[in-house]
Amino acid sequence: MFDLDRWQEIYHVLKSNKLRTFLTAFGVFWGIFMLIIMLGSGNGLENSVSRNFADMATNSVFIWTQQTTVPYKGFPRGRRFNYDNDDATALRNAIPEIKYLAPRIRGGDFFSTNNVIRGLKSGSFSIMGEYPEFFLIDPLYIDEGRLINDIDIKEKRKVVVIGKRVKELLFEKDEEALGEYIQIQGVYFKVVGICNSKRNGEQAERENQNIYMPFTTLQKTYNYGNIVGFFGITSKDGISVSVVEEKAIEILKQRHGVAPSDDRAIGHFNLEQEFRKFQGLFTGIRVLVWIVGIGTLIAGIIGVSNIMLVVVKERTKEIGIQRALGATPVKIISQIIMEAIVLTTFAGYFGLVIGVGLLELVNYAMESSGADSDMFYQPGVDFRVAMIALTILVCSGALAGFIPARRAVAVKPIDALRYEQ
């Protein structure tokens, strides 16, 4: 029930010393403001990193070849070897936990020279031979046209999906690229799609300079035989990709005469582990932010508690009068706690609003200016965190009021009445 007298008293108490109220409130305001800013910035950092992971399947592993380091079965150390198409079949048959397996090959021979030509324009781009499955592991986002599909693979069609940057470099600004032909290392390919990376910064730049063609086309056209550059593998849902990784490496070692003890012959990158590392890092950051934020908040709350003690002291006589007139201790305690809660909640709410506002402003400024940073993306706090912060505020306000309130009723009514300032 709305109790006008209670609010009148709260208003009077807070109003009676405006500067003091303001400074106290500022302590709480600052605490919550800092908490929100830090949480928001932490989120910005996290968003930026998780954007670099893009929508990549986090339960994926990539396996490629390196030089052997242990002599085995008559082979010397320092041997180079290649995976082949049969490895893919063998892995699929031997490991039931595999969800997607995509052999991949990079036309790495063309680096550094201008390997792609269209009319008078030319450029140097990475050429990737892909299976459609790979796009389920590391999605490619199509602006125009289509992705590589199974029929392309089957018929070894000479079609390519080109990155946005490739289009910019090989075509005029308003020129239609779809259906046009580009010459890659002497062979003509038809452009069927244009893709645009969703990663940020440098990574996106690099990805947009890729040209994707069917895996089989690349093997055949450029004389790779049945060589596979590397495998992208994801595990079935609920199964750690590390299980798959271990088994796959073991099988590949067997198939290529690599010593079981040779850990360096087979290169592998486990995205799941990487992702976990980042998750751990961000959990750490978040914990730190909360500790620091709560610490700052506590400083503010102690300020409130302190001021409430002073207020109670100043109002000793008035509280004495109220008690003489029949105010029960519960009434007095709840009144003082209410005052503390109102003060902290108001101040905290402003901190919350201004903190969130500032984050939104930064976000807006970054977006409208087009600034794209590797380190910071869409800072902000979610509604749940704001609610938690607000709950903490109310509780800590109550806590801040509690000690002064106890002090107020610990005095005998007569001593309170006699109290002179």
Partner 1 sequence: MIKIRNIHKSYTNGQMNLHVLKGINLDIEAGEMISIMGPSGSGKSTLLNIFGILDNYDNGEYYLDGKKIQNLNERKAALLRNRMLGFVFQAFNLVSFKNAMENVALPLYYQKVPRRKRNKIALEYLDKLGLKDWAHHLPNELSGGQKQRVAIARALITQPKVILADEPTGALDSVTSQEMMNLLTEINQTGITMIIVTHELDIARRTQKTIRIIDGTIQEIVENEVQSTKYEDRTQVRSNVIASEAKQPKNEVTSVSRPKQYEKVA
With contacts defined by CB under 8 A, name the span among 49-57, 282-290, 322-330, 395-403 that binds partner 1. 322-330
Q: Which is nearer to partner 1, 5 or 237 (CB)?
A: 5
Nearer to partner 1, 192 or 409 (CB): 409
Residue number with CB closer to partner 1 (151 or 414): 414
Residue 114 or 328: the one with the smaller Cβ distance to partner 1 is 328
Binding mask 278-317 for partner 1 (x = CB under 8 A): ---------------------------------------x
Verify binding: residue 327, partner 1, rule CB under 8 A. yes
How far apart are the C-alpha atoms of 85 and 54, rounded to whole Å? Answer: 28
Select from 23, 281, 310, 330 the one that contacts partner 1 (CB under 8 A).
Answer: 330
Q: Judged by CB under 8 A, does residue 339 bind partner 1?
A: no
In the set 18, 74, 76, 325, which binds partner 1 (CB under 8 A)?
325
> Which lies closer to partner 1 via its Cβ, residue 101 or residue 343?
343
Report the residue number, 225 or 326, with the smaller CB distance to partner 1. Answer: 326
Report if residue 247 touches partner 1, rule: CB under 8 A. Answer: no
Which residues between 74 and 93 bind partner 1 (CB under 8 A)? none
- The one segment of 82-90, 110-118, 268-276, 408-416 that binds partner 1 by CB under 8 A: 408-416
Contact letters for partner 1, residues 3-42 (x by CB under 8 A) = -xx--xx--x------------------------------
Name the minimum Å distance from CB 33 to partner 1.
Answer: 31
Determine whether 149 is exposed, middle or buried from the number of CB atoms within 10 Å of its CB (0-12, 13-18, 19+).
middle
| Contact indicator for 351, 33 with CB cutoff of 8 Å | yes
- Of 329 and 380, the one with the shorter C-beta distance to partner 1 is 329
Ranges within 372-391 binding partner 1 (CB under 8 A):
none
Among positions 90, 94, 239, 321, the unique one binding partner 1 when judged by CB under 8 A: 321
Residue 18, exposed/middle/buried by CB under 10 A (0-12, 13-18, 19+)?
Answer: exposed
Q: Does 322 bind partner 1 (CB under 8 A)?
A: yes
Name the residues that contact partner 1, by CB under 8 A. 4-5, 8-9, 12, 317-318, 321-331, 409, 412-414, 417
